[in-house]
Structure 1
Amino acid sequence: MKPGLPLPEPHPRQPQKLRKKAYEKELASLQSQLVDMQQWVVETGARVVIVMEGRDAAGKGSAIKRIAEYLSPRVCRIEALPKPTEREQGQWYFQRYVEKLPAAGEIVIFDRSWYNRAGVERVMGFCTSDEYRRFLHQAPIFERLLVEDGIFLLKYWFSVSDEEQLKRFQERKHDPLRRWKLSPMDLQSITRWEDYSRAKDAMFVHTDIAEAPWYTVESEDKKRSRINVISHILESIPYNQLPDTTPPIPERPNSQDYVRPPRELFRYVPDVAARLERKQNGH
């Protein structure tokens, strides 16, 4: 490797891409199990915290989307906190995250978390050395307190190689639907690859504790990483399938002489889809 180029994050051999049909079938099964887990969380009053961290473009967001896709937003919340306000900057660092922790019967997924301090804040100089050292000391204490209080805490690091990350950045740049995901801060992860690697290594040394260990998700293949992380969540939460309590669907009662007002009295959105139908029929 030429001098000055960033060292790639070590990876096993390139995994074989999962076939779409097999992936979709397994994903549907796992998402069904997540719904069962959600019912158990609600019925038992369990509290679940899932921390998603990793390289930019490593697949955290798409994994979170698949986890929460069929869960109730009243039960499963996704927290992606913005830059702290001036007031929050004057608080204890963990304070604004404490406010987002789950109550009984809730699941909270942190799309990035308090570990911002050990990653981007450390690398980009957004915190002082004292603040950084204090974080590494306090984070394990904070997490032990969460677990001691009965919270299920799962921490995942999505790992991707520098080559795959660059490829995904290029795809985003040319995709108008995903271009918004690229920011100058994201692109710093290319030029500061080694700095982020060192920060991640130090973070693991101090915060990979028995009560709340880190689990690495290999994410060269996003489909494979989604299957793996959802499977691990289901294996880690000691839920069991509860009896179906869905209420029966009642029969509609007979009409009580209701007459619907004429359609002309209402405003309807234009039927744009009709154009697609005409194109489909060759008109």
Structure 2
Amino acid sequence: MSPDNYQEAEDWLESELRDSMDEEVELEMEDAILSMKIREIYRKAHGETIPRADYFRSLLRLQAELIKLQDWVVHNNEKVVVIFEGRDSAGKGGVIKRITQRLNPRVVRTVALPAPSDREKSQWYFQRYVPHLPAGGEIVLFDRSWYNRAGVERVMGFADDDQVEQFFQDVPEFERMLVRSGIRLVKYWFSITDEEQQMRFLIRIHDPLKQWKLSPMDLQSRIRWEDYTRAKEEMFDRTNIPEAPWYIVPGNDKKRARLNCIDHLLTLFPYEEIESEPVVLPERVYNSDYERHVLPPELYVPSKY
């Protein structure tokens, strides 16, 4: 390779790294479009968080370890389920984004089911979750899960007392069955304070890019904060089993919550780096008889930027 080509390759790699960091900054900008008054109140309530450079450095290191975990899961045909539960706006979606950001979507997928249909309501409660469980070499992240019955369905009256009691009797054995089948099951609860949830809801109300995150059910959760607390406490008491314990992630500081959760997740698996064959880029084949066709301009996306 000539010196000019080396320089071009260096410039290209530097550009790619910058683009990668831009993606991180783009994700972080989800908090940027706030009214100045809300932002000022939020900062006063929180104080200092992790410096941006330290946060990115730690996040990238952990994401590199997640790639090793992914390769280990594929190589050993492991099956992994990670459940993310917590109050509305507690940060579940944020950590899921950071976990999946650099992983292979064919290996790691997120499941966020909508409200059950009338047909699903007539089925065995766990039935609609079963098709989403992993096969060998897969990781499934549940952004809310069958624990809806112990939380929102119970508090909002979508499930009666008998259905809730049946759930509590069934779920420990259901999860033991999953573990016996070879699934590694991890359960996280993201915990935030009453004041923090109120602040995050206000942010969503004042940020047009986040208003879609607020549903009527979310607003009801503010009214029924204590009901949700009581439901959560009983859920922990009756479903925290040795085969699948709960892990609580303090979530008031988003950045720390993300790093702590990913770091803890990595400690739960005996993964190791999997050796792979070196990747060698093959030489391009040129055919002197081939003449590239000129495509009509209307096929191209307009270059507005």
TM-score (normalised: structure 2)? 0.82
| Alignment check: 8 A CA contact 1:15 1:220 kept | no
The reply to whether residue 251 of structure 1 matches residue 283 of structure 2 is yes
Q: Which residue of 1 aligns with 2:254?
A: 222
The reply to whether residue 112 of structure 1 matches residue 134 of structure 2 is no
Worse-matched range after superposition: 198-207 or 184-193: 184-193
Shift of 1:18: 1.0
In 2, Cα distance between the equivalents of 1:249 and 1:146?
A: 42
In 1, Cα distance between the equivalents of 2:182 and 2:62?
A: 25
Unaligned stretches of 5+ in structure 2?
1-44
Q: Which residue of 1 aligns with 2:266?
A: 234
Which structure has greater helix proportion?
A: 2
Q: Which residue of 2 aligns with 1:83?
A: 115
Shift of 1:16: 4.8
| Alignment check: 8 A CA contact 1:48 1:152 kept | yes
In 1, Cα distance between the equivalents of 2:96 and 2:278?
A: 26
Q: Which residue of 1 aligns with 2:25?
A: none
The reply to whether residue 174 of structure 1 matches residue 220 of structure 2 is no
Shift of 1:255: 4.1
Shift of 1:14: 6.5
What does 1:78-227 correspond to in 2, within 5 Å? 78-227=110-259
What does 1:255-274 correspond to in 2, within 5 Å? 255-262=287-294, 264=296, 267-273=299-305
In 1, Cα distance between the equivalents of 2:301 and 2:97?
A: 29
In 1, Cα distance between the equivalents of 2:248 and 2:122?
A: 33
Worse-matched range after superposition: 48-57 or 171-180: 171-180
In 1, Cα distance between the equivalents of 2:66 and 2:137?
A: 14
One-letter amino acid of the counterpart of residue 77, structure 1: R
Q: Which has the higher contact order (CA 8 A, sep 6+)?
A: 1
| Alignment check: 8 A CA contact 1:37 1:234 kept | yes
- Report the secondary structure of 1:99's partner residue: helix
Shift of 1:29: 0.8
RMSD: 1.6
One-letter amino acid of the counterpart of residue 52, structure 1: F
Unaligned stretches of 5+ in structure 1?
1-12, 274-283
Distance 1:47 1:28, change over 3 A: same
Q: Which residue of 2 aligns with 1:3?
A: none
Q: Which residue of 2 aligns with 1:47?
A: 79
TM-score (normalised: structure 1)? 0.88
- Report the secondary structure of 2:132's partner residue: coil
In 1, Cα distance between the equivalents of 2:68 and 2:203?
A: 36
| Alignment check: 8 A CA contact 1:56 1:165 kept | yes
Shift of 1:264: 4.9
**Aligned residue pairs: how many?**
261
In 1, Cα distance between the equivalents of 2:93 and 2:198?
A: 17
